[in-house]
Amino acid sequence: MNFEKICVLGLGYIGLPTASTFATHGLKVVGVDVNPKVVQGLQNGQLHIYEPGLRTLVQAALRSGNLVVQDQPEEADAFIISVPTPFLTDKRADLSFVRAATQAIVPHLRKGNLVILESTSPPRTTMDVVAPILEQSGLKAGEDFHLAYSPERVLPGQILREIVENARVIGGVDPTSAEAGRDLYQIFVLGDIILTTATTAEMVKLMENTYRDVNIAVANEFSRLADRFGVDVWEAIDIANLHPRVNILRPGPGVGGHCISVDPWFFVEAAPDITTLIRASRNVNDAQPDFVVEILKRMAGGDLAHRRIAVLGLAYKPDVDDLRESPAVEVAQLLLKAGAEVLAYEPYKLDFQQGDLRVLPSLEEAVARAEMLVLLVGHKLLKEISPEKISGLTPARIALDTVNGWTASDWEQAGFKLYKLGVGEIEP
């Protein structure tokens, strides 16, 4: 199948790189977003998200004339839906963005078109949600137009490389739809392209992230056990991983982001009677911020009220500006709830504000009045903080490292008492 023009609905962390990559490979691309600030910003060459190399790619796509950004879709050979799928307060998937984007395609759908859903979704979303909406056009999925599911499988911070090099799975509502999807993505994908059914592709994406979530939950429980038994969990994990068939992941303040902390709930929603382990793992990881706050309470002598705490890092993972479902943000909010004064610093999101939580403009300002320091994200620049330098900038002399980013001997030499998540200290 040949493609000259495509329409990408949703210009976030996946949609924008995808649209720009297609445009720089010679296709005419209409990028659509319902947020007027996003549309206006991109039309002026301004990005609303940070990803290494993305600004250069987007600007090249815009300058080529192949990428046009607007707030409404139009006729095209193919449509890609790349909108968010968050979850509701009861942990059910919020498919309102998927439904709205699909509905927006209906007036422009023509015979022979290809529609691909990229948004992470519960099993059977393509068949039971997207297909019926598109068929309101009077056309039949798999007969009059092609319909497929192809999830993104990239790591923030490496999206531009992985979107091209990673293997891609494409699941069609019928074999011809999967083949049409392959024809589109092979324009720039260098990795293997695996064809399957739409529901299998949906499940593959959820399985990948659920597998990691379950394994992180084990690591987080190990950190709590080590805390209780007076063991250094980081040392214990390193030793255990010397076994050729063991690969324990690293604990931390929780699990966040738009995938690992969300996707397992889609399985629980779809089959609550047979997902006991998945639900339990989610509950463990969701409770890890509470464990961090309990450690801070012990450090403070049992009460955090009115304590000034410098919170270093709010992103959900190192070296990105993505704060979606971030456990670091949850820790900060729990500290506020406990009556502490939170002095937050997130170098990649200086304009972040959520309720009473706001980011201070510099590390120096965050630590200047602090009584306690807590490292919540392993940003390279935060891990490389000089304890000697910090000691001259803050009255704080106790610190908590939740990601094993600081060397205890260096901080103790600079006059700090450094606690670490998962390093238990048994009272004599």
Contact 396, 310 (CB under 8 A): yes
Contact 307, 340 (CB under 8 A): yes
Check 7, 28, 205, 317 and give the catalytic one. 205
Contact 31, 69 (CB under 8 A): yes
Check 28, 259, 383, 420 and give the catalytic one. 259
Which residue has tokens 């509701």? 88
In whole angstroms, give the CA distance from residue 91 to residue 269.
8
Nearest to 396 by CA among 380, 418, 378, 376: 418
Which residue has tokens 């004339």? 65
Q: 205 catalytic, yes or no? A: yes
DSSP label of 123:
T
Angle (nearest 5°) at CA 26 between 109 and 4: 25
Which residue has tokens 């495509």? 6
Query: Quick one: CA torsion of 53, 54, 55, 60, rounded to 10 degrees?
Result: 100
Which residue has tokens 């923030």? 156
Nearest to 235 by CA among 422, 426, 427, 428: 422
List the structure tokens of 267: 């399985």
Amino acid at the residue 67: L
DSSP label of 358:
E
In whole angstroms, give the CA distance from residue 354 to residue 320.
18
Q: 259 catalytic, yes or no? A: yes
Active site members: 205, 259
